[in-house]
Structure 1
Amino acid sequence: MIEVTPGRAEASIDVRMTGKLTAKDYEDVLAPALQAALETHDRVKVLVQIGPGFDGFEAGALWSDAKLGLSHWRGFDRVAVVTDVDWIEHTMKIFGFAMPCPVRVFDLDEVDEARRWLGESLGSIHLAEAGGDVLQVQMIGKLDSAAYARAEERLDAFIRDHDSLKLLLDLREFDGWQGLSALGDHFSLVREHYRIPSKVAVVGDAAWQKLAERILSRFVKAETRYFDEDDFADATAWIT
């Protein structure tokens, strides 16, 4: 059986799965509830509680689950999976990164923590004018698609107001991307603006420097230098 109720976080729903799930549960309960939520919000946060009392899937239910996910692939903002079912927990941990949105797995006694995670802010991109035509871009935590959407608006505004652009890219607190959708948005943002900067300074640890070098060398035509995380002052002096 599947029960769907409004979630506590904004633009969210709670989904509880118990007993043995059927294709009819997906078609008659979950699919209409998700579609109704997406008519109000562009993306939806979902808390999925599987158990206690979960007995698995009947024939056809897994296929209905897959079809539902694929048909709303870009409609998920974040998914919290709360379960005591080992194989589901392991599967989500292995394949969660392939989802188009952040996915995190919680134990059954962590349902309140799961709700807090759905409601909290994840990674962020801070843009600050650093004098003249220099824009400092600080990437913090694990980034999701919403962070790129907010950053792109400010980046475009800065470009409109300045004849040239130099980027100071601060990766010292950057932890990566929340799913493939955010990674795709990163490459999209780079592709759309790659001709614009004249200079780029990248500050971060060795691992992120190597990644930035691979990305920027492919897309960006600017003069670029890489600085260790302890050399931020040197990067600032060079970019200005």
Structure 2
Amino acid sequence: MLEHSLDTEHGVLHLSPQGRLTADDFKSVAEQIDPFIEENGCLNGLMISADRFPGWSDFSTMVEHFRFVRDHHRKIRRVAIVSDDDVLSALPHIASHFIAAEVEHFGTAQRSEAANWLNAVTAG
């Protein structure tokens, strides 16, 4: 399950995986953000908060995840990964080769700093 909420004031999507991801998770997120992106052109930010990457429920979900990233990465300005997990902390370096957004890692105790970094896009 992928909990998600959209802060329409700042144009920031908040994601928090709560177990293995499913294809329906990505469809649900797209249904929420696509109208916002259509109206505003992009999301200013995406905050992913996770203790660890939970994995996918099956291979088709992994494919759906990659498709979601392909379809949306040019429409998101910044991504903040909030986690103390070693694998997730390495993600910004890896992601920088594949996505257009600026990606930064923040430790769990730095959640407010991550929010400030994402919200600064609206001011800039």
- Class of the TM-score when normalised by the shorter of the 2 chains: 0.7 to 0.9
SS in structure 2 opposite 1:195? helix
Distance in 2 of aligned mates of 1:184 and 1:163 = 25
SS in structure 2 opposite 1:141? coil
* Bigger relative contact order (CA 8 A; separation at least 6): 2
- Root-mean-square deviation (Å): 2.0
Distance in 1 of aligned mates of 2:77 and 2:106 = 17
How far is 1:137 from its partner?
Answer: 2.2
Larger radius of gyration: 1
Tell me which stretches of 4 or more aligned residues in structure 1 moved more than 3 Å: none
Question: 2:29 is matched with which residue?
Answer: 151
Structure 1 residues 212 and 178: CA distance shift in structure 2, 3 A: farther
Q: Which AA in structure 1 matches 2:80?
A: A
Distance in 2 of aligned mates of 1:178 and 1:210 = 23
Number of aligned positions between the proteins: 117
Q: 1:206 aligns with which of 86, 110, 116?
A: 86
SS in structure 2 opposite 1:236? helix
Q: Which AA in structure 1 matches 2:88?
A: W
Structure 1 residues 213 and 142: CA distance shift in structure 2, 3 A: farther
Distance in 2 of aligned mates of 1:170 and 1:157 = 23
Question: 2:46 is matched with which residue?
Answer: 167
8 Å contact kept, 2:6–2:33? no
TM-score by length of 2: 0.80
- Which 5+ residue runs of structure 1 have no aligned equivalent? 1-122
Question: 1:140 is matched with which residue?
Answer: 18
Using the aligned pairs only, state the percent identity.
28
TM-score by length of 1: 0.44
Distance in 1 of aligned mates of 2:8 and 2:19 = 22
Q: Which AA in structure 1 matches 2:12?
A: V
